[in-house]
Amino acid sequence: MKSRRSLSLAGGVLVVAGAALVIFAMRRDGPNDLPSADWREFRSAFISRDGRVIDTGNGGISHSEGQGYGMLFAHAYSDRRTFEKLWQWTRTNLQTRPNDKLLSWQWSDNGGNGRVTDANNACDGDILVAWALTRAAKTWGVFGYTQSALEILADLRRLALVEASGSTFLLPGVEGFRKEEGFILNPSYYVFTALRELDAAFPGAGWGELSAPGRELLSQSRFGKWQLTPDWVFRADNGIVAIAPGFPPDFSYNAVRIPLYIAWEDPDSPLLAPFAEFWKKPSEGGALPASVNLQTDAFGPHPALPGMLAIAKLTQACVAKTPITLSDIPPVKRSEDYYSACLKILVKMAILESRKNLSGGQES
């Protein structure tokens, strides 16, 4: 169904109700193409020959998140061969839990004797992989991908969702996050576009029902001078949300994805405003930080990764309703780590895909 908002495309600029919001760059790759050089660099620097995505900024481990991002990228770049290698490695090395089809979240090379080093799942990794499989099944017509996505999602629903106050919430993992008087949540695990697409692909499964509680969680999870969302929150059974005890009280490497996932699905969302304001103020007096303590308002010791700066740029453009193009986001470089490179490509995907999301999936 068409959005009620007025949409037009003029000179490569998406205009929403008369205001330039998101535009896509006219590059040699084509107006609707992600820059091919980014994928060549990412694939060469971070994907092994057998399909393992290597987290170069985290001791060279691999994890379900990385495999999910890699599969999403391979699909976005129409690289079916790499997609299949990534999925085969994931299935062989991470989908090894004895009682379900969820993915062990962490794998280490272990000096050439690679093995799972943490068998607990990470629900965002499971969602990302299922999302990538669902997109690939639609594009390439592979029923096996659909079946594998359904298996992951069925166990995710069975084991990792929790009911509270009439709403359903996504736990970060199956084990360790249910507490006596509530539960721990990771707000950055709410990948809103994935939830919408999974809901459309599998009607009646209820994945779209997670979005509204997720947005409400974000509106309640605002702390510190800048009213930012921390990496980890505790939601008590009485509905009160607090910074999770026992976790760093930081807006940092996890939570930085929150405005990305919001903007990808809804560039007009008022939930973006605190993030845009935070990134505006520090930039007036120096480098943006990679983290901020939401109890003391102190900046962490490290500057923001280039991929974090890309999210900041996207967020500020959405809130200010100013144009942003693919060329505004720097290319992936071998010198940066895996996570920064991932964030850059995700931002570029969001810039391209938000145009279709705003128009209800139809061109105008």
Residue 28: the pLDDT is 57
CA dihedral of residues 167, 170, 175, 177 (deg, nearest 10): -70
In which domain, by residue range, is 27 found? 7-358
Percent of the chain with pLDDT over 90: 84
Asked if 174 and 160 touch (Cβ cutoff 8 Å), the reply is yes
| Nearest partner of 193 among 262, 267, 140, 269, judged by Cα | 262
Domain membership flag for residue 252: yes
What is the count of structural domains for the chain? 1
**Which band of pLDDT confidence, cut at 50, 70 and 90, is reported for residue 15?**
very low
Mean pLDDT of 17-41: 63
Domain membership flag for residue 363: no
268 assigned to active site: no
How far apart, in whole angstroms, are the C-alpha atoms of residue 261 and residue 264? 5
Asked if 236 and 246 touch (Cβ cutoff 8 Å), the reply is no
Write the CB contacts of 55 (distance below 8 Å, at least 6 apart in sequence). Answer: 61, 62, 63, 66, 337, 338, 339
Percent of the chain with pLDDT over 70: 87
Q: Is the pTM of this model over 0.85?
A: yes
Mean pLDDT of 280-299: 86
Q: Which CATH number characterizes residue 107's domain?
A: 1.50.10.10
**Which band of pLDDT confidence, cut at 50, 70 and 90, is reported for residue 358?**
very low
User: Which of the following is catalytic: 38, 100, 124, 250?
Assistant: 124
Q: What is the pLDDT of residues 311-345, one digit of tens each?
A: 999 999 999 999 998 999 999 999 999 999 999 99
User: Which of the following is catalytic: 38, 55, 65, 126?
Assistant: 65
Write the CB contacts of 300 (distance below 8 Å, at least 6 apart in sequence). Answer: 250, 252, 289, 290, 291, 292, 293
Mean pLDDT of 142-168: 96
65 assigned to active site: yes
Domain membership flag for residue 1: no
On the question of pLDDT at 86 being above 90, the answer is yes
Mean pLDDT of 284-296: 89
Domain membership flag for residue 2: no
Asked if 182 and 166 touch (Cβ cutoff 8 Å), the reply is no
Domain membership flag for residue 244: yes
